[in-house]
Structure 1
Amino acid sequence: MSLPLHRLPPLDPLKGFVAAARHLSFTKAGEELHLSQSAISRQVQTLEEQLGVALFQRSTRALHLTPEGERLFRTASEVLARLGSTVEDITASRRQPRVTISASIGVAALWLVPRLSGFQARHPDIGIRVSADNRAVDLEAEEVDVALRYGTPEAAPTGSLKLFDETLAPVVAPTLAAALPDGPRLSAANLAHLTLLSFEDGRDYPWLRWEGWLSQLAPTPPAAKALLQFNHYDQCIYAALAGQGAALGRLPLIRDHLEAGRLIPLAPPQPTPNRRAYYLLRSPSSKRPEVEAFAEWLIELGNSDGNASTETGGQSPSGN
């Protein structure tokens, strides 16, 4: 027959006793439970009075369990551990599953964030945390489940999946395209009427520079109307959308703007040197169902751009 519940020790004194027995110190037990040393001492004393036995042998230098204290500690610590595990399981079942994804600031702003509503519509019970950073983060150390990486096939991490290739073209807003004297194209005649929007964040991205495009116009192309520089790529595109000038568009990232006519290409698209592309990388330790669902959704988006995902291997590419 089970002991009536009213005869069992209160939980708080029992917790104080287990902590004190674990550390053999009232002071350290108080630190664990965020209580004072005297509060732990009173809890243990209350428990001893209720049981009618001493649980500790006290001295000026040390604290030792009595035989009765050792028996109670073995049972109570096991019961509290099982109780804690059950409480954790119950609360975990109520928490919304969440996926953390890392992407560069430009990729997150222009490509990922505008598409997240599609995933939320399919999986309303899964939360998403976007960590936008232009460095290639350590997925394990920074607790990131999925990352979008940009680089060459040779530099793609082992086991990553290619989502889509990179292509470039100069783009402008339709109002600016309509005002160009030589029509909506990149030409020497139009250059004097164009402000060039340039991405410069202190690192070397020669394929994102204007020099290669301008050298195709003439041996010595005329000067542009002006130059505006930005340290985040998405700022270039937002400036172009506002009609402030021409940006070198990374076409997969601005596909929605092109299809909606918000941006007009001024030249045929060109691939980047060394076939740079966008890759999906999953953390080896993130095998939760919500992570798999999010990764599958990203792969579907990549396939919708007309590029089948393929496994690659090599060194880690940049996070841009």
Structure 2
Amino acid sequence: MPEVAMAESTRLVPSLDLLKGFEAAARHLNFTHAADELFITQSAVSRQIKLLEDRLGVSLFVRQPKGLRLTDQGEQLYRAVSSALRQVNDAMERLARRDEAQPVIVTSTLGFSALWLIPRLVIFQKANPDVEIRISANDRVLNLDRERIDVSIRYCQADAPPPSAVWLFDETLLPVCSPALAEASGKQLREPADLRHHVLLHLYDPDNPSPWMSWRRWLEAFDLTDLKPAGSATFNYFDQVSRAALAGQGVALGRMPLVQDLLQDGSLIAPFPRAVPTGRGYCVVQAGFSRGRPEVDRFVEWIIAETKAATRDPISVVDARKTARKERRRDRPRI
């Protein structure tokens, strides 16, 4: 009978306390840290592990002078228990909050969040006033399930996106600067060789090196490896590079699509439309636990549609320069 079979199959299943104690000890590989997390004593965790090992008839940990190590059997049990506890926790959260409006938590890089995503959020919010969006800008790749993040817009290699990711757009680099700098007397930027008259703004983060975004790579693409600029300034975040370019401090390598809006409104111009692909770009990943939440699905659909529109109607860097000139002429006082 099914009831008898179910009873037989659950005889070996330990209590939830034993499983929680084992999962915490396996995750920390330290009984003391597990005990602190569970608000019990270290000896209580040790007894729980001993009971579990006796019940299963296998050793789950190897005790070493410098700490613990999971045995093969311990690794197998940890994967199963960790997954099961997470599913139980997710189900309980959904049931407990079924009548509450939950925010959609989105993570992306600092540059993408500041320059592309946040300026466009008003479009989504006008169409979805009932949905709260929380932005968690971070240049680290976060584990969505562990951090309880619904959506990630990730920067990655174009040929190696994460599983289940939807590709949004490729990244290209092209020189950008303020309109005033491009037209400075005696320092006009008519062709790439004119960069020798200007300060080049560099992006360099020793904790996260990205040589594909270097001026050297761009100059090599146009056979200008011997070019000597008037000076250099280096920053470790792209939004800092962008601010320096906006302030007229030099010429930056603009990352499309991040500088698209700044080119569109004439705050920056691209003096020569020569873009170099980086082989990287942006994709969107939705956490497994958030699939089926209407508000999260709506946000992901909106991001995909918004990036398609940007790709379908790209800014013409030449037109942007002409537009900026017209705006400056229009704003001059008439005598």
TM-score by length of 1: 0.63
Aligned to 1:249: 254
CA RMSD between the two structures: 2.3
Contact 1:163 1:307 (8 Å CA) reproduced: no
Matched, 1:283 2:287: yes
- Distance apart, 1:145 and its partner CA: 0.4
What is the DSSP-based 3-state SS (H/G/I as helix, E as strand, rest coil) of the residue aligned with 2:146? coil
- Residues matched between the structures, number: 218
In the TM superposition, 1:87-106 aligns within 5 A as 93=99, 95-106=100-111
- Residue 97 of structure 1: CA displacement? 2.8
Q: Does 2:174 align with 1:184? A: no
For 1:229, the aligned partner's letter is T
The answer to whether structure 1 residue 207 and structure 2 residue 212 are counterparts is yes
AA paired with 2:131? I
Distance 2:163 2:239 in 1: 28
SS class of match (1:141): helix
Question: Closer, same or farther in 2 for the Cα pair 1:206/1:219, shift >3 Å?
Answer: closer
Is 1:260 the equivalent of 2:254? no
Alpha-carbon distance in 1 for matches of 2:248, 2:295: 40
In structure 2, C-alpha distance between the alignment counterparts of 1:184 and 1:272, rounded to whole Å: 22
Alignment of 1:307-318 (within 5 A): none
Q: CA deviation at 1:183?
A: 3.0
Give the aligned residue type for 2:233: L
220, 239, 242: which one aligns with 1:237: 242
Give the TM-score normalised by structure 2. 0.60
- Distance in 2 between the 1:114 and 1:219 partners? 36
Letter in 1 for 2:175: P
Letter in 2 for 1:199: L
**SS class of match (1:293):** helix
Deviations 1:150-192 (A, max 9, x none): 1223320111111111111010010101116353345334423
Identify the structure with the greater helix proportion: 2
1:96-137 CA distance string (max 9 Å, x none): 331000101111111111111111101111101101110111
Structure 1 position 206, deviation (Å): 1.7
Per-residue deviation, residues 228-287 of structure 1 (Å, max 9, x unmatched) = 1111111111111111111110121111111111111133242424x3221011101112
Alignment partners' CA distance in 1, 2:127 and 2:310: 20
Change (3 A) 1:219 1:198: closer
1:1-320 to 2 correspondences below 5 Å: 93=99, 95-179=100-184, 181=186, 183-192=188-197, 194-202=198-206, 203-215=208-220, 216=222, 218=224, 220-222=226-228, 224-273=229-278, 275-287=279-291, 288-306=293-311
Identity of aligned residues (%): 38
- C-alpha distance in structure 2 between counterparts of 1:228 and 1:163, whole Å: 31
Gaps of 5+ in 1: 1-31, 33-84, 309-320
Q: For the structure 1 residues 204 and 285, does the alpha-carbon distance in structure 2 shift closer, same or farther, using more than 3 Å as the test?
A: same
SS of match in other structure, 1:306: helix
Letter in structure 1 aligned against 2:164 = G
Q: Report the CA distance shift for 1:210/1:284 in structure 2 as closer, same or farther (over 3 A).
A: same
> In structure 1, how many angstroms separate the alpha carbons of the residues matched to 2:232 and 2:257?
24
Can you give the 5+ residue segments of structure 2 that lack an aligned partner in the other structure? Answer: 1-38, 40-91, 314-335
The higher radius of gyration belongs to 1
Deviation at residue 141 of structure 1 after TM alignment: 0.3
**Alpha-carbon deviation of 1:92?**
5.5
